[in-house]
Amino acid sequence: MYLNLVQLAESFGVSEKVVEGWIREEGLPHTPERRVLLFDRAQVAQWAATRGLATKAGFLAAASPSLSAALRLAPLLRSGGIFRQVVAPDVREIFVRVASGMHGATPPVRELLGQRLRAEGGVTYAPVGGGFALPHPATRITLGRESGTLALILVPAGLALTEPRVDEVVVTRLLFFIAPSPRAHLDMVGRLSRLIAGGVLRASLERGAGDEEILQVVAAADAAVAEGKRPEGRA
């Protein structure tokens, strides 16, 4: 879903000039279309979550407790997997592999996803800073409540991305996800961004934590959301 400049400014409760300043100075994602600026809601959600702005806009507000609690990240990560010592040329095929093993999706849907992920521009990498990015299919899909997946992909040598960088840290940690619905997509962007910003996941990776410890960190974040605690993963 796309918003225009006026709609986005109203959503944040700021003037249009402030939004234009965010574009120039803060790298707010946007798409020029026939002299009109359009903003992809999911990209703006990811951008806002990394800057503590998400709760200031109605369409970016945190999901209801029932939805957040229902969408548990740890089972999705256990299903999608953790991949270590990956080299950059293999990343795209890992995306396809994760999508192909996704529960709750029919074989034709998984095949279609694989085709889209391999296509030029089929993946939005969404760097969020600190060496992390949140890659996901560039087009939104509806899979059903019981579907979706999440994978942690570690690329020690780093990735050269064409998308604007948030900071000077090379992206080496990917949290690739496929959400079960467009609404769940926004929830996952916010959840994953908060999990990264909290520091516990980053600290676990920096000290070389094993797969089970990482899964426990994510499970603890799920439990905190279920209990109505925020932010997630705070050290």
For residue range 135-187, list pLDDT tens digits in order: 999 876 777 777 899 999 999 999 999 887 778 899 999 999 998 887 788 78
Tell me, yes or no, whether 131 and 52 share the same domain: no
In a domain, 168, yes or no: yes
Please give the Cα distance from 199 to 103 (Å, whole number).
Answer: 29
Query: Which whole-number Å values give the CA distances from 128 to 141, 166, 190, in the listed order?
Result: 22, 6, 11
Tell me, yes or no, whether 105 and 218 share the same domain: yes
pLDDT band at residue 195 using 50, 70 and 90 as cut-offs: confident
In a domain, 233, yes or no: no
Tell me, yes or no, whether 143 and 222 share the same domain: yes
The pLDDT tens digits for 56-102 are: 444 454 444 444 456 899 999 999 999 999 999 999 999 999 999 99
Residue with tokens 């520091």: 199
Tell me, yes or no, whether 161 and 192 share the same domain: yes
Q: What is the pTM of this model?
A: 0.72
213-227 burial by CB neighbour count: b if 16+ within 10 A, else e? ebbebbbebbebbee
* Residue-level pLDDT at 63: 45
Tell me, yes or no, whether 32 and 73 share the same domain: no
Q: Which residues on neighbouring strands pair with residue 234, listed in sequence order?
A: 199
Tell me how many domains the chain contains: 2
What is the extent of the structural domain holding 40?
2-56
In a domain, 231, yes or no: no
In a domain, 232, yes or no: no
Tell me, yes or no, whether 52 and 87 share the same domain: no
CATH number for the domain spanning 69: value is 3.40.930.10
